[in-house]
Amino acid sequence: MSILNIMWAGGSAFASVQKVHQQILSRADTRVPIHTWLLQGSAGDDGLVEQAVEWNLSSARLKGRHLWKLLMPWMRARFQKALPEDLQVVLLDGIGVARVLLPVLEQLPHVRAVVIFHGATRLRKADQTLFEQFADSQLTLTAVSQTLAASLERYLQRPVAVLRSAFDPAVFRAAALSREQARTHLNLPLSGAPVLGAVGRLVDGKGFACLLEGFASVSADKPDARLVIIGEGPAREALEARIEALGLQGKVSLPGHLPEAATLYRAFDWVAIPSTEEGLGLILQEAVMAGVPVLTSELAVFREQLGDAGWYAPADDVAAWRDLMGRAFAASGEAVVESQWRALAPEQAWDDFTQTTQRLFSCR
């Protein structure tokens, strides 16, 4: 038996997806060989994807655009020829990978395909038709949150298992740097100044522009406050221009993508997650496990995890985020993170994740 993990792409832009797959695969039998394919890009150097087969295919080719549609059968024949002979389980990264690979697996009834949905996606009628070609014993659809699973089930009219990604809290906390170490790493004051942190790709959907606007208002009354946004992406230039226009130089830093970001949460007094949309939001879990309280957008997926222990503001509402940050800087985060830890229940979440994942790998 072997397991094949097929992902759309590697690199920092897909780090959160890679973390989910990494956690799933960590629950497989250690004696079972695991193979990874990257359809685009390279594995990168952050250790999330190792020893991957890199296909280096273009998006146009994978999506069958224009003349590439005529070559789709040939490409799928290459995939089928490259499959491990003892293959039993294939993890597919979302609907894009499923559209490409499920037709290859359709004629292999001994192989179980598991499609992992990481966030909202545009599904087509053709996707329903594709899934209908598979018996439940051959195809499992999973989503990283109950919120996402419910929305997919309504559209697909097919069961979607909840595989809420989780981490081993003891291992995660042991790897986290101390407050002093993390602040030194990020060149932050070791004491005094309150620091708000954020982690994610620099893209519009993460809500960092709204966060900057709200922080500018708060910092007028709290001039020693600092904001650190860890991540990289196409919105960097616009965010840098906004930092300058708001006069926040020296108060806001954009250190870029840091592979070690998961060890740095204790540098912050609070972590902000102002996203307009999320499939789960691993940052929430990581921050709370590190002992740092979170401020989040008012999204169902965040309420699913924190309930009444969450501190929420509507997405893209600058005034609401300003007020939320102001309340946070005036409060003690210790009691807040204790209640958020109880709501998140990381130990139970890890046990549930382990049991669900192991069922995916078990023989039918």
* 224 & 185 share domain: yes
* 123 & 224 share domain: no
Residues 16-22, mean pLDDT to the nearest whole number: 88
User: Domain boundary residue among 108, 132, 165?
Assistant: 165
Handedness of CA 142, 14, 151, 62 (dihedral sign): negative
* 28 & 146 share domain: yes
Question: Mind listing the pLDDT tens digit for each residue in 75-107?
Answer: 999 999 999 999 999 999 999 999 999 999 998
Residue 362: inside a domain, yes or no? no
Residue 326: inside a domain, yes or no? yes
Distance CA 167, CA 262 (A): 11
Percentage of the chain beyond pLDDT 90 is 79
* 260 & 310 share domain: yes
Residue 308: inside a domain, yes or no? yes
Taking the alpha carbons at both ends of the chain, their separation in whole angstroms is 13
Residue 151 class from Cβ within 10 Å (0-12 exposed, 13-18 middle, 19+ buried)? middle
Residue 351: inside a domain, yes or no? no
Question: Mind listing the pLDDT tens digit for each residue in 265-287?
Answer: 999 999 999 999 998 889 999 99
Residue 157: inside a domain, yes or no? yes
Distance CA 15, CA 1 (A): 28
Q: Which domain does 268 fall in, by range?
A: 169-345
Q: Which two tokens stand for residue 310?
A: 């969450």
Residue 117: inside a domain, yes or no? yes
- pLDDT in the model for residue 170: 94
Structural domains of the chain, count: 2
- pLDDT in the model for residue 44: 64
Q: Does residue 122 carry a pLDDT above 80?
A: yes
CB 320: neighbour CB atoms within 10 A? 17
Distance CA 163, CA 142 (A): 6
Distance CA 287, CA 337 (A): 9
* 161 & 187 share domain: no
Residue 360: inside a domain, yes or no? no
pLDDT band at 293 (very low <50, low <70, confident <90, very high): very high
Q: Does residue 47 carry a pLDDT above 80?
A: no
- The CATH number of residue 284's host domain is 3.40.50.2000
Q: Does residue 363 carry a pLDDT above 60?
A: no
* 8 & 57 share domain: yes
* 136 & 223 share domain: no
* 173 & 279 share domain: yes
* 58 & 79 share domain: yes
User: Domain boundary residue among 165, 199, 219?
Assistant: 165
Of 133, 115, 285, 363, nearest to 294 by C-alpha is 285
- pLDDT in the model for residue 344: 96
Q: Does residue 133 carry a pLDDT above 70?
A: yes
- pLDDT in the model for residue 15: 83
pLDDT band at 42 (very low <50, low <70, confident <90, very high): confident
